Amino acid sequence: MTDTGHYGFATRAIHAGQDPDPTTGSVIVPIHATSTYAQDGVGGLRGGFEYSRTGNPTRTALEECLAALEGGRHARAFASGMGATDAALRALCRPGDHVVIPNDAYGGTFRLIDKVFGLWGVEHTPVALSDVDAVRAAIRPNTKVVWIETPTNPLLNIADIALLAQVAHSAGARLVVDNTFASPYLQSPLALGADVVLHSTTKYVGGHSDVIGGALVTSDDELDAAFGFLQNGAGAVPGPFDAWLTLRGIKTLELRMEKHSDNAELVAEALQRHPRVQSVIYPGLPEHPGHEVAAKQMRRFGGMVSFTVAGGEEAALRVCSRTRLFTLAESLGGVESLIEHPGKMTHASTAGSLLEVPADLIRISVGIESGDDLVADLVQALDSV
C-alpha cells in the first residue's frame, strides 16, 4: 500500500489503496469479478489472493482506503453494517460475557445483541452514554465491550469518546464506536482512544443509497486478525461490485459531509422558528446538551436532525407523508434527503423496551440538494398539518 498517512482527508479518500492498476494502467480500481485466482505451482499465489471470500483486490482497495480515512492500521469490509457488528461481537465476546450498550442504540444492533447474542449467553445493559457515572455503574467484572454510538440514532445524543475509552480501559473492556452517523470525515474515534470503529458504509461512506456494506477498523493487530478470521470463517463479505460502489462514493465524502452539515444547520434553524415544531435535536445547536462534547470531538455536526411536533404521533405521521423533496424512507446518509418516523419505522422493534423512542419524533437525513429548497419543503409540510 502506498503510504498516504501524511496526506489530508480528501487526498486519502481519493488515493489510499487506489494506485493505478500495475498491469493495465487503469486509473480506477477494477471490479475484480472473480471467485478464484490462478496459482503458479501449488501455493504460488501471484498477488496474494487465493479465493474471494478470503480476499479480493477490489475489497482490499476499499479496506486500505477505510483504514487510511479512520487513521487505523487495518480495516475489514463486510456485507453489511450488521455483518460487521456480528463479527465484532463474536471476536470480542464469549458466552458469559457482558456488553454495555447505548439506551438508544441503532435498532438492529439492539436486536442482534438482545435476540441473537442473548441466546448464546452474552448479557447486555443499556445505559445513557452521556451519563458517565451510569456507564461506570453498568460495568461488571465480565464486561468485555463498551459499545457506543455518537451521535446516537435517532435521538442524536452525544457520548464523550475519550472519556468512555478511559472508563472502558480501566475496567479491562474494549471500546467499540459505531461511527456511522458522523462518518470518518467528521470524527476519528481511534485517535480518541477507541479500540474499534464500526461503520455501516451503507450510509454516509457509500453516500448514494445504492449499496449495503459495513466495516471494522482497528490499529490492534490481534483484533484485526480475529476480524479477518471471521470474515473468511463466517463469510459475511461484500462482493467486488459492492466494494467498488463504496470506494466510488468515498471519493466525495469530504465534499458531501461539508454540504450535509451546511444544509442541516440551515434546516435545524428553520425548524426552530416554525410554530408547529416543539423541539429540534441537532448537536450543532448551542442548546443541545451534548453540544460542547460534540464541538470538541467532531469537525462539524453532520446531516442528521430529529424534531418533535405539536399534535403527537398523528401530526408526526402527517408531516412524514406531506414532504415532496424529503422521501419517506428508512436509512440515511445518501445525497437525497429522507424523512421517517422512528417509532413506526426504523425503531419499531424497540417498542415496549427501554429503548422505545417518542411517538411524536421525526428523523430527517438532510441531503445535499439546494438548502433553501429543503427548508421550503419542510415548512410547507408543517404548515399543512
Ligand X SMILES: *Cc1c(COP(=O)(O)O)cnc(C)c1O
DSSP H stretches of helix in the chain: 9-15, 57-70, 81-92, 107-111, 132-138, 161-170, 183-186, 221-234, 240-250, 253-273, 291-297, 312-322, 371-383
Say what the alpha-carbon torsion angle 352, 354, 357, 358 is, to the nearest 10 degrees: 80
- By the rule CB under 6 A, 81 interacts with ligand X: yes
Nearer to ligand X (CB atom), residue 82 or residue 264:
82
Rounded to 5 degrees, φ, ψ at 362 are: -120, 135
Nearest distance in Å: CB 380, ligand X? 28
- By the rule CB under 6 A, 360 interacts with ligand X: no
Residues 142-181 touching ligand X, rule: CB under 6 A, are 149, 153, 178, 180-181
- Does residue 324 have an active-site annotation? no
- By the rule CB under 6 A, 316 interacts with ligand X: no
Among 16, 61, 67, 82, binds ligand X (CB under 6 A): 82
Angle between helices 240-250 and 57-70 (to 10 degrees): 30
- Does residue 7 have an active-site annotation? no
- By the rule CB under 6 A, 193 interacts with ligand X: no
Cβ atoms of 303 and 333 within 8 Å: the answer is yes
Residue nearest to ligand X (CB): 81
Dmax of the chain from CA atoms? 74
Size of the site for ligand X (CB under 6 A): 16
- Does residue 53 have an active-site annotation? yes
Nearest distance in Å: CB 44, ligand X? 37
Nearest distance in Å: CB 105, ligand X? 8
Nearer to ligand X (CB atom), residue 74 or residue 203:
203
- Does residue 262 have an active-site annotation? no
Beta bridge partners of 70: none
- By the rule CB under 6 A, 200 interacts with ligand X: yes
- By the rule CB under 6 A, 238 interacts with ligand X: no
Cell numbers standing for residue 232: 473468511
Cell numbers standing for residue 31: 471490479
Residue with cell 476480524: 227
Residues 98-137 touching ligand X, rule: CB under 6 A, are 106, 108-109
Pairwise CA distance, residues 282 & 279, whole Å: 10
- By the rule CB under 6 A, 365 interacts with ligand X: no
Q: Where does this chain bind ligand X (CB under 6 A)?
A: 80-82, 106, 108-109, 149, 153, 178, 180-181, 200, 202-203, 212, 214
Hey, which residues are catalytic here? 53, 106, 178, 203
